[in-house]
Amino acid sequence: MAKSVEVFDRINIFEKITLRTFERKTGKPFREKGNVAKEIKMNFQPYLSVPRAASIAFTIRLGGNYEQLKFSGFENSIEIIDDIVDNISLVNQGDFITLKEKIKDEVYFKNFVGLSKELAPDGKEINLVGLTITRNGKEKNVQFTRMRNDINSYVFIDETELNQNENKRIDIAGRLSAADEDKSNIRLTLDNGVKYSVTVPEGLGDIVKKYWGEQVKISGIEIKNRVVKLLSLDPA
């Protein structure tokens, strides 16, 4: 048995990782707003098997059609899956230097780390997220065991800026809501009614939208009174 929200939430996160990886690999600029192109979603949206006997394990196949559309530079979805699994392995190892060499675009890098943090086990409900791919009859396994709290938030902000503003670090909790999407701002309302404006770095929109209306904990830098630059966001 497993909580359905824990299982299906991670499947949804994996779908976002898949589509963002394809967009990055095909050289598309990071999409802050708008929907995924229809032909991409048709060919790379994950489809699930029923859970295997006596487990909470799913087989995921990319695309509803066996005959996938041909995209420039791609033969099939194998390259996407290999890239995802290799990069998740780097996050699990905490090797963000190598990961940054592979994902050179800063916005895509932040997005991948942020989504990986959402995929990671929390140490309470989930202790491990296992990924297995099969190539020519051989299996390759990645056991994602790094807890989400161990995925450093400094990757979302320049480390020099973080060190210079260490005395402005702030941790607050409240209800999250949308504010000004065009300016990448969100609103956090504390239990006492006090409101904070939170600036979201490029690439993290996928993560914050997941928590609209929810109680969350935010860590950030207070750049001016009740205005916070986001470092990390977790469910409260």
Among 108, 132, 151, the domain-final residue is 151
> Higher pLDDT residue, 36 or 147?
147
pLDDT in tens, 87-137: 999 999 999 999 999 999 999 999 999 999 999 998 888 888 988 887 778
Query: Do 118 and 14 have their domain in common?
Result: yes
Sequence-ordered alpha helix ranges (H) in the chain: 4-25, 38-44, 78-93, 96-102, 106-119, 159-164, 205-209
Query: Do 136 and 164 have their domain in common?
Result: no
Count of the separate structural domains present in the chain: 2
Among 117, 151, 185, the domain-final residue is 151
Between β-strands 195-199 and 215-224, what pairing exists: parallel, antiparallel or unpaired?
unpaired
Query: Do 144 and 175 have their domain in common?
Result: no
pTM of the model: 0.83
Query: Do 52 and 166 have their domain in common?
Result: no
Query: Do 138 and 166 have their domain in common?
Result: no
Write out the residue range of the structural domain in which residue 61 sits.
4-151
Query: Do 62 and 170 have their domain in common?
Result: no
Query: Do 141 and 164 have their domain in common?
Result: no
Among 151, 169, 198, the domain-final residue is 151
3-state secondary structure of 192: coil
Query: Do 70 and 96 have their domain in common?
Result: yes
Q: What would the mean pLDDT of 142-151 be, rounded to a whole number?
A: 90
Query: Do 15 and 75 have their domain in common?
Result: yes
Query: Do 215 and 146 have their domain in common?
Result: no
> Higher pLDDT residue, 198 or 78?
198
> Higher pLDDT residue, 190 or 125?
190
Confidence of residue 183 (pLDDT cuts 50, 70, 90): low
- Give the integer Cα–Cα distance in Å for 219 and 57: 33
Q: In whole numbers, what is the pLDDT of the chain averaged over residues? A: 83
